[in-house]
Amino acid sequence: MIKINPTEALQTLAHANKEFIELFSHGTLSVEVYRPNKIDKQTPHDRDEIYVIISGTGTFFCNGQYIAFEPSDFLFVPAYADHRFEDFTEDFATWVFFYGPKGGESSI
């Protein structure tokens, strides 16, 4: 069993001096914590992805659509989708879950 709380995750990230860090992996699942510095420089990923917002608010762009986000929100991003966080507060941080095969899972 493993337990990682947001405070520990963000401390680990701060010590790594990076914007994201992988904290756990099992099979195709990869769990990261992500805290961009003023600008989200992401490019599309080759696997499906889920964000669960830890802290902060802002706007999320995905495939031409914008949506406001706040703590505890769940955001799904299919593989290869153009996406990024915009206009986010300084305290913004999120869990990131990558899973499944390259190219994403079938919706059928």
Mean pLDDT of 66-83: 97
3-state helix, strand, coil in the chain (%, to 5): 10, 45, 45
Query: To the nearest 10°, the Cα dihedral for 106, 58, 89, 50?
Result: -10
The verdict on residue 5 lying in a domain is no
Is residue 17's pLDDT more than 80?
A: yes
Give the structural domain span for 43. Answer: 37-60+76-89
Q: What is the pLDDT of residue 108?
A: 63
The verdict on residue 43 lying in a domain is yes
The verdict on residue 12 lying in a domain is no
The verdict on residue 7 lying in a domain is no
Summarised one tens digit per residue, pLDDT across range 20-74 is 999 999 999 999 999 999 999 999 999 999 999 999 999 999 999 999 999 999 9
Q: What is the pLDDT of residue 30?
A: 97
The verdict on residue 85 lying in a domain is yes
Distance CA 18, CA 12 (A): 10
Domain count, the chain: 1
